[in-house]
Amino acid sequence: MADTASVVWVDAVDPEQAVALAGSKMGRLTELHLAGVEVPQGFAVTVEAYRRHCAESGLDARIDEVIEWLGTDPADAAVEDASARIRALFESTPMSDALAAEITDAYDELSLRCVDVNVPTAVRSSATGEDAADASFAGIFDTYLGVAGAARVLDAVRQCWGSLFTGRALSYRLRKNISHHAMPIAVGVIELIHARASGVAFSVHPVTGKPDRIVIETSWGWGEAIVQGLVNPDHVEVGKSDGRILKYDVAHKTVVSAFDFADGRVTEIDMPAKLADRKVLDDEQIAAVAAAVTSIEEHYGYPVDVEWVISRHRRAGDPVCIVQSRPVTVTAAAPTASGYDPVALAQKFVFSGKPIPGR
Mean local confidence (pLDDT), 232-255: 95
pTM for this model (two decimals): 0.84
User: Cβ–Cβ contacts within 10 Å for residue 265, how many?
Assistant: 17
**Between these two residues, 169 and 339, which has the higher pLDDT value?**
169
CATH of 195-345, one of 3.30.420.40, 3.30.1330.60, 3.40.50.1100, 3.30.470.20: 3.30.470.20
Secondary structure, 3-state, the chain: CCCCCCEEECCCCCCCCHHHHHHHHHHHHHHHHHCCCCCCCEEEECHHHHHHHHHHHCHHHHHHHHHHHHCCCCCHHHHHHHHHHHHHHHHHCCCCHHHHHHHHHHHHHHHHHCCCCCCCEEEEEEECCCEECCEECCCCCCEEEEECCHHHHHHHHHHHHHHHHCHHHHHHHHHHCCCHHHCCEEEEEEECCCEEEEEEEECCCCCCCCCCEEEEEEEEEECHHHHCCCCCCEEEEEECCCCCEEEEECCCCCEEEEEECCCCEEEEEECCHHHHCCCCCCHHHHHHHHHHHHHHHHHHCCCEEEEEEEECCCCCCCCCEEEEEEECCCCCCCCCCCCCCHHHHCCCCCCCCCCCCCC
- pLDDT classification of 130: cutoffs 50, 70, 90: low
Q: With 50 as the cut, is the pLDDT of residue 143 above it?
A: yes
Instruction: Check residue 356 and give its pLDDT.
Output: 28
Average pLDDT over residues 179-203: 93
Q: Residue ranges per domain, the chain?
A: 7-191, 195-345
Average pLDDT over residues 17-25: 90
The pLDDT-based confidence of 265 (bands split at 50, 70, 90) is confident
The CATH H-level superfamily of 7-191 is ATP-grasp fold, A domain (3.30.1490.20)
pLDDT for 223 beyond 50: yes
Asked if residue 1 has pLDDT above 60, the reply is: no
- Provide, rounded to the nearest whole percent, the portion of the chain with pLDDT above 90: 65
- Residue-averaged pLDDT of the chain: 86
pLDDT at 330: 56
Bigger pLDDT: 358 or 258?
258
Least confident span in 174-178, 240-244, 313-317 = 174-178
pLDDT, tens only, 52-64: 999 999 999 999 9
> pLDDT tens digit string along 332-354?
444 433 333 333 333 333 333 32
